[in-house]
Structure 1
Amino acid sequence: MKNIYNKVKHIAVCVFLAVAVSSCNNDIEDIGGAEQNYNTAYGLLHANTNLTTFAKAIELTGLESILNTTEDFTYFVPDNTTLDAYLVANGYVNDLGYPDINLVPVENLKQLVLSHVVKGFKKRVAKLEGVEADYLETGEYATMANAVNPDLYLLSINVTNGVLKVNGSDKVAPGLDYYGTNGFVNVLSNVIELTPPAPVITSLSQVLASPGDVITITGQNFVKVKSVRFGSTAAAITVVSRTEIKATVPSDFDSYSLIVVETDFGISASSSIGLKYLLYEDSLKGTGGGWGGEVIWQSTEKVSRGTYSIKKVIGNWEGITMKSNIILNTTDYQFFKMSVFSTESTKIFVNINSNDLYNSAKGTTVTLVPGQWNNISIPISDLHPELISGGNFDEILIQEFSGISLTPGSVIYIDDLGFL
């Protein structure tokens, strides 16, 4: 590699001089021409009058002793204008309103500095035609900050056609790199922040749950997780990875809860599990009836969750009704949900209009896939709440509605019926 860099020196000097003529923002005014090749990367950083704010940050954190060595380094350094804008945006300004690097807490400043330095290699961005060298490639790299705090994000580098983007920056960084005896200094138009953002929940492994169930929470940024709460109750958890948490449903869970994940870096938006009002879980919260075949209100033959389900032997146009022991209002809910297992392919009609149970214009139909649990979610709007006086209701109708002949003894099982 020593021979490679010797070959690069002469060509790179010419390239630098040519660029320097047309570049103002990133000139190294205190070092000119060939002398640049014989300075260290740290020396280049301090000699560049456009990077004095970052150099001051190194001084304030006492990091000179570990950065000013002959080991290999690749720097990604925001210029003064960029770093000053960052200071202002984060409130580090003096009494006159000017950005002041001295106001940043030392530990925060140390992480900021180290997040911009990769130790152990020297790789350049700008490729020289016909010259083999170590060039920076697209990928993720561990910075010196990652060595101190492994929970930080890795540095994301993208190099396309000689253009450098760092840490997903909206503004591209200049492709020009300054080279020294032991590394390179890349000047950035963005500040690198490796601190994870607030956690995000993207999905839950189940939509209904019982106390003691272990559910999988999938998402992003599960770093330094402090708690997972079901409502106000903290759950027992196992953090599997940055994208997965196992959580045990608390013993005081009823039928519905909002779940949030809290980390050292923020709190997720809530995700709901369960139903706000569960009319049937293992028993009916009210009274039930039906016509046609037999109804068993606590059957153990086919159960989606828990111990019991409703078994209905059903023929053409036969069905059941369930009357809640409390009055419900359509404005309190967005969905009607239930799980239905059918032994035959059929269609059912659902109606919540207690004043006119048998009018098909006042409900909606759902086609059932036989031989499996159909997890059904019907928007309340599909049940025509505008036709219900005051939106109040307390009765639900489920009726066979296929219009075809069913095998005698055809059965549907209903479980976990309620409103969200």
Structure 2
Amino acid sequence: MKNIYSKIKHIALSVFLVVAASSCDNEIEDIGGAQQNYNTAYGLIQANSNLTTFTKAIKLAGLESTLNTPDNYTYFVPNDATFDAYLVASGYVNELGYPDITLVPVEDLKQLVLSHVIKGVKKRVGKLAGVEADYLETGDYATMANAVNSDLYLLSINVTNGVLKVNGSDKEAPGLDYYGTNGFVNVLSNVIELTPPAPVISGLSQVLASPGDVITITGQNFVKVKSVKFGSTEATFTAVSKTEIKATVPADFDSYALIVVETEFGVSAPSGIGLKYLLYEDSLKGWGWGWGGDITWESTEKVSRGTNAIKKVAEAWSGLFMHSDLLLHATDYQFVKMSIFPTESTKIMVTINSDTGDSAKGTTVTLVPGQWNNISIPISALHPELLTDGNFDSVFIQEFSGGTITPSSILYIDDIGFL
């Protein structure tokens, strides 16, 4: 019994000495901590029984000779459970339904592995008091995969209060850095993917457009753009950057189209440009009349787009009525749109009900003088519930300032339509 006790005490003492030796973190200042097991960063990965899937990935990708070198590295390695879950979610499973990394194409696997490695640095997460080192900080970092494919995204790293998160994940790295003779290994609970996601359109430089116009499409993930389509028609385009595309409106563009951007990595959600129905473009698609001031239906004095606009001398409470040749249904549209240039500050009332002048069936809009006001009025604000069968065929605009404008005030009105 005494011999057993002595052996246990000897083992405990040995463990204490190992722990004490490994806690002397400031003895090797060049990497900001002691060498764990006096092994390379690559060797630490090979020796860790919780990183076997990543180890296998390195071998299958043919990257052993690339990574097993004296060069400095920082690894971000998903643990086995995380990597296996990623394989299952990506459809890489065998006949029994188990994750099988051998099913991943070699080139894809190579990119995946290299996306988890930063070369040429020794970086750790846990900061040591009084020790200067090359610590990881929040920011974007180039991986070895970026050196092979410049179209890939950079690795996004967030370090807050010693907690590491990578690639935009909300999952914390389950442990701090393991440090070797030539770098660090950070164990993750997510897999890093730097392949750009599908493109996203966030804005267009023009609300309305004409064939031949060059518009700017802004958004994200415009990487390796294959096509820009207006409806089914492909447009001529130039991908300026990952967030901007210049596209020429096709010759067969009428008044409205859904724009879609396609890259090698996906297709954007459509973004609408123009109007589904233009009541007035360069001329009125119907007939009209008005009172309280002259009307020129095809004036060239001042236009928002095209060659003509409506010129209305806007005396106090004067009005303008436009009848459409096409019967419209309120549920087919969301907005009434128009461009108006007032020479004086004023207010107008707009309605789509046939009872002209009934402000209870319309809505008012205040106009800024000396510029084109691009107005967008929700159909819901024009009381569609009062329409017979939800149908309408007219737009009524009335000067509504309360008699404060001068007799020489003018409204120029262009691009009246529905979206």
The equivalent residue for 1:368 is 367
CA contact (8 A) 2:317 2:403 kept: no
Q: Distance in 2 between matches of 1:116 and 1:15?
A: 29
Structure 2 counterparts to residues 89-238 of structure 1, below 5 A = 89-238=89-238
Cα-to-partner distance string for 1:326-380 (whole Å, 9 max, x where unaligned): 11111111110101111111111112112x2222211111111111111111111
Q: Distance in 2 between matches of 1:228 and 1:81?
A: 41
Which residue identity does 2:351 align to in structure 1? Answer: N
CA contact (8 A) 2:35 2:180 kept: no
Residue 406 of structure 1: how far off its partner (Å) = 2.5
CA contact (8 A) 1:126 1:175 kept: no
Residue 15 of structure 1: how far off its partner (Å) = 6.5
Q: Distance in 1 between matches of 2:86 and 2:187?
A: 15
Q: Distance in 2 between matches of 1:314 and 1:36?
A: 84
Cα-to-partner distance string for 1:38-89 (whole Å, 9 max, x where unaligned): 3211111111111111000111111111111111111110111111111111
SS in 2 for 1:197: coil
| Structure 1 position 378 matched with structure 2 position 377 | yes
Which residue identity does 1:14 align to in structure 2? Answer: S
Instruction: State which of 6, 13, 21 in structure 1 corresponds to 2:22.
Output: 13
Q: Distance in 1 between matches of 2:246 and 2:380?
A: 35
The equivalent residue for 1:414 is 413
| Structure 1 position 55 matched with structure 2 position 55 | yes
Identity score, percent = 77
The equivalent residue for 1:74 is 74
Q: Distance in 2 between matches of 1:393 and 1:167?
A: 52
Matched length: 394
Which residue identity does 2:281 align to in structure 1? Answer: E
Q: Which 4+ runs in 1 deviate beyond 2 A?
A: 9-12, 34-38
Q: Distance in 2 between matches of 1:70 and 1:62?
A: 18
The equivalent residue for 1:265 is 265
CA contact (8 A) 1:125 1:175 kept: no
Residue 249 of structure 1: how far off its partner (Å) = 0.7
CA contact (8 A) 2:35 2:179 kept: no
CA contact (8 A) 1:162 1:175 kept: no
Distance 1:75 1:384, change over 3 A: same
Residue 10 of structure 1: how far off its partner (Å) = 10
Which residue identity does 2:418 align to in structure 1? Answer: F
The equivalent residue for 1:29 is none
Which residue identity does 1:360 align to in structure 2? Answer: S
Distance 1:175 1:134, change over 3 A: farther
Residue 292 of structure 1: how far off its partner (Å) = 2.0
CA contact (8 A) 1:290 1:319 kept: yes
Residue 14 of structure 1: how far off its partner (Å) = 2.0
Q: Distance in 1 between matches of 2:178 and 2:57?
A: 20
Q: Distance in 1 between matches of 2:171 and 2:404?
A: 66
Q: Distance in 1 between matches of 2:155 and 2:161?
A: 20
Q: Distance in 2 between matches of 1:264 and 1:167?
A: 21
Structure 1 stretch 202-211 or stretch 401-410: which is displaced more?
A: 401-410
Which residue identity does 1:408 align to in structure 2? Answer: P
Q: Distance in 1 between matches of 2:94 and 2:24?
A: 41
Residue 181 of structure 1: how far off its partner (Å) = 1.4
The equivalent residue for 1:319 is 319
Cα-to-partner distance string for 1:191-246 (whole Å, 9 max, x where unaligned): 11111111111111110001111111111111111111111111111111111111
Residue 134 of structure 1: how far off its partner (Å) = 1.9
